[in-house]
Amino acid sequence: MKNRTHKMKKSFCARLFALLILLSPLAVCLAQEQAIIKTTHVAGSVYMLEGRGGNIGVSVGEDGILIVDNQFDNMAPQIEAALADLGKGELKFVLNTHWHGDHTGGNAHFGQKATVLAHENVRERLKNKSGTPKSALPVITFKESSSVHFNGEEIRLLHLGAGHTDGDVIIWFTDSNVIHMGDQFFNGRFPYIDLASGGRVLGYQRNVTKILNALPEGAKIIPGHGPLGDKQDLQSFSTMLMETINPVRQAISQGKTLDQIKAAGVDEKYKAWAVGFINTPRWLQIVYNSLTSER
């Protein structure tokens, strides 16, 4: 009897597992349909779109539409619907802050309609990624800086050096006084720094300091992830970087191991900054790995 019961349970579990496998594509589709784009007017002609993936910057005006980043490929219909609500102009330009898929996943779709611009390293990394279609590749690239004159203002693209990756750019809407920092700014949370893509913790920290020192009065900041920010938010982020990186640097100089550094953790006030997959141990590991490789 026990064997029979065990076999029945095993059979039930097998059927349930098979059913879940069959339903998983449906679950993914439903999740995509339920993904909602939130639109926020930032300043001037600039808006911010939040959905799944990195925050999108949008310029809307008489010249048409320009977007900064485009989340994942399956978000294209929702993004297009949100853009249609903002204006009837055509999409003319797509600017990439860096190469990660949660910011460039829509390149293949939007690149068929608009000109894609990015740092030269973004094109190289996307080109070397298996399965990247031609329409996803930036057609205009640059090394240090570039500008797009669009909707009555100069939109500047600035590469400050390796930080989050080796191809990040900061995008400044000069008249609207809005800066899109991409993943050089995670508002209210620990950042992800992609060491395998040329990212560097100290470079990241330097880039944030450069922007903070040059930030125009009253500027609004679109982060790669997190809510719309301002100078105070960026200052808090910069302070967090200093107060979590410096203790790790000191611990390394004292010969402490990664496990000891993780056990020490961070100051109590920064524990709430552990959001998503970048928890405190992972952030400390990123810092440790970067600092030890840069010595």
Give residue-wise pLDDT tens across range 91-142.
Answer: 999 999 999 999 999 999 999 999 999 999 999 999 999 999 999 999 999 9
Assign 139 to helix, strand or coil: coil
Q: Is residue 182 part of a domain?
A: yes
Q: Residue 92 sits in which domain range?
A: 34-230
Three-class SS of 92-138 = EEEECCCCCHHHHCCHHHHCCCCEEEEEHHHHHHHHCCCCCCHHHCC
Cα–Cα distance for residue pair 274/246, rounded to 1 Å = 18
- pLDDT tens profile 45-80: 999 999 999 999 999 999 999 999 999 999 999 999
Cα–Cα distance for residue pair 293/268, rounded to 1 Å = 28
Helix (H) or strand (E) holding 155: strand 153-158
Q: Is residue 200 part of a domain?
A: yes
Separation in Å, CA 51 to CA 38, 39, 110, 266, 279: 6, 9, 17, 30, 22
Q: Is residue 281 part of a domain?
A: no
Residue 34's pLDDT band, with cuts at 50, 70 and 90, is low
Q: Of 11 and 94, which is predicted with more confidence?
A: 94
Q: Is residue 150 part of a domain?
A: yes
Domain count, the chain: 1
Q: Is residue 101 part of a domain?
A: yes
Cα–Cα distance for residue pair 10/13, rounded to 1 Å = 5
Average pLDDT, the chain: 90
- pLDDT of residue 25 exceeding 60, the answer is no
Q: Is residue 143 part of a domain?
A: yes
CATH of the domain at 117: 3.60.15.10
- pLDDT tens profile 169-224: 999 999 999 999 999 999 999 999 999 999 999 999 999 999 999 999 999 999 99
Radius of gyration of the chain (CA): 22
Q: Is residue 186 part of a domain?
A: yes
What does pTM read for this prediction? 0.88
Query: To the nearest whole percent, how much of the chain has pLDDT over 70?
Result: 88
- pLDDT of residue 19 exceeding 90, the answer is no
Q: Is residue 1 part of a domain?
A: no
Q: Of 246 and 36, which is predicted with more confidence?
A: 246
